[in-house]
Amino acid sequence: MQKFDKLTGVAAPMDIINIDTDMIIPKQFLKTIKRSGLGVSLFHEMRYDLDGKELPDFVLNTAPYRDANILVAGDNFGCGSSREHAPWALLDFGIRCVISTSFADIFYNNCFKNGILPIQVSAADREALMADAADTENPQLSIDLVTQTISRPNGVVISFDIDPFRRQCLLDGLDDIGLTLEKASAIDTYEGARKNSHPWL
């Protein structure tokens, strides 16, 4: 998993509440178990017409947001069914950070396991960041996971809270498998001792 420490980039405004996982990646794209290739289908029903042509008014189809790697969204982001394809699609598009006032629990947890930083902020801070993102002249935000801060274009800094263990996993680039592999030596030692003491198992 790619490490996350600092990120400066274009923030796209999506001032929509209750963006669910089916909006993020519709069910017809869940046939794959690969994490790559899903970015083109991100927000498919909002992004394309019935002929597969881009809808010109959708934010990620417009400049400068085609290159967004931060998303500022409405309340309750990632609700709905518990599909891990949702963070996969965001990450494949290039989104490394989602900012909202609240997240669905399963989506929130899945973000950390896939190298995406979900940041919860107050309603007032979200509105300020939404306005920053909507400024097409300079929609750039800077995220610093080490200091747990968001730097706005006007110089104002917003602090955010995050679970220390999840923060460290992102900083180290460790998902569940990576965490397990860090204990490989201890696991090998245990398995060897168990084989000697219980050879019939």
Phi/psi region, residue 38 (left: phi>0; alpha: psi -120 to 50; beta: rest), is alpha
| SS3 call for 126 | helix
Report which secondary-structure segment, H or E, holds 12: strand 6-14
- In the structure encoding, which two tokens stand for residue 122, read together? 């107050």
How many other C-beta atoms are found inside a 10 Å radius of the C-beta of residue 117? 21
Every domain of the chain and the residues it spans: 6-197
Report, as an integer, the average pLDDT of 14-39.
90
Say whether the peptide bond before residue 64 is cis (omega within 30 degrees of 0): yes
Closest CA to 107 of 126, 85, 91: 85
- Output phi, psi for 145, to 5 deg: -75, -30
Tokens 């178990």 correspond to 33
Name the helix (H) or strand (E) containing 23. Answer: helix 21-24
Q: Return the CATH class of domain 6-197.
A: alpha beta
113-154: pLDDT as tens digits: 999 999 999 999 999 999 999 999 999 999 999 999 999 999
pLDDT at 87: 96
Q: Output the CA–CA distances (angstroms, integers) from residue 51 to 37, 42, 46, 57, 66, in the order listed.
A: 20, 16, 13, 16, 20
pLDDT attached to residue 181: 62
| Residues sharing a CB contact under 8 Å with residue 122, sequence separation 6 or more, in sequence order | 101
Q: Which helix (H) or strand (E) holds 72?
A: strand 70-73
Strand partners, 72: 13, 99
Read off the pLDDT of residues 146-180 as tens digits, 9 standing for 90 and up: 999 999 999 999 999 999 999 999 999 987 666 66
How sure is the predictor about 195, in pLDDT bands with cuts at 50, 70 and 90?
A: confident
The pTM (predicted TM-score) of the whole model is: 0.88
Distance in angstroms (rounded) separating the CA atoms of residues 109 and 103: 9
Spatial distance between the Cα atoms of 111 and 98, rounded to a whole number of angstroms: 9
Q: What is the pLDDT of residue 159?
A: 98
